[in-house]
Amino acid sequence: MSAKREIALTVNGEQRTLRAHPMERLLDVLRRDLGLTGTKEGCGEGECGACSVLMDGALVDSCLIPAGQAQGARVVTIEGVAGDARFNSLREVFLQSGGAQCGICTPGMILAAVQLLERNPAPTMDEIREGLAGNICRCTGYMQILEGVAEAARRATAR
């Protein structure tokens, strides 16, 4: 692994600078160096989506992103979404619909839903299914997650 170097990025709206090996995973840098443990590791190979974060507005698996690639990027994690009033209803519907059981996929699932609703504020059920298909949940069978996201969309457009 090459030497550590300085990496500057914006995380949840705050400018952060840290020293890391550029080939380290963004996931580890977020969890270890920035203490943002809401982002989870499920598989380490970009299959499960538990480590999903938004990078410059796009949903990415942070286990596949080298930290060096995040130089200058805007990264949003569950902690950032949790503090953002726009996403209150998404958290509320996950609670009410039963969208969170064991909770380990929930942060990634909520970030996937955030991106979906930003790109498509009034998705059909099939579009929600497709939009969340990169995030694996082993507890819920997905139905209550899909229903929650549909309800969040309904509330947002009804406003």
List 71, 103, 124, 154, residue binding another protein (CB under 8 A): 103
What residues from 82 to 101 belong to the interface with another protein (CB under 8 A)? 82, 91, 94-101
Q: What values do phi and psi take at 39, rounded to 5?
A: -85, 125
Q: What is the enclosing helix (H) or strand (E) of 52?
A: strand 52-55
142 near another protein, rule: CB under 8 A: yes
The residue with tokens 């929600």 is 128
Told to check if 50 binds another protein by CB under 8 A, we report yes
Shortest Å distance, C-beta 71 to another protein = 21
45 near another protein, judged by CB under 8 A: yes
18 Cβ contact list (under 8 Å, min separation 6): 6, 7, 29, 33, 34
Q: Which region, judged by CB under 8 A, interacts with another protein, from 2-10, 64-72, 113-121, 134-142?
A: 134-142
| Residue 30 identity (one-letter amino acid) | L
Would you say 5 and 19 are in contact if contact means Cβ atoms under 8 Å apart? yes
Among 18, 75, 89, 107, contact with another protein (rule: CB under 8 A): 107
Q: Does 130 engage in binding with another protein (CB under 8 A)?
A: yes
The verdict on 132 binding another protein (CB under 8 A) reads yes
Alpha helices in 98-142 (DSSP H): 106-119, 125-131
Residue closer to another protein, measured from CB, 67 or 99: 99
Q: Provide, rounded to whole angstroms, the least separation between the CB of residue 130 and another protein.
A: 6
* Site of interaction with another protein (CB under 8 A): 1, 31, 36-45, 47-48, 50, 77-79, 82, 91, 94-107, 110, 128-130, 132-146
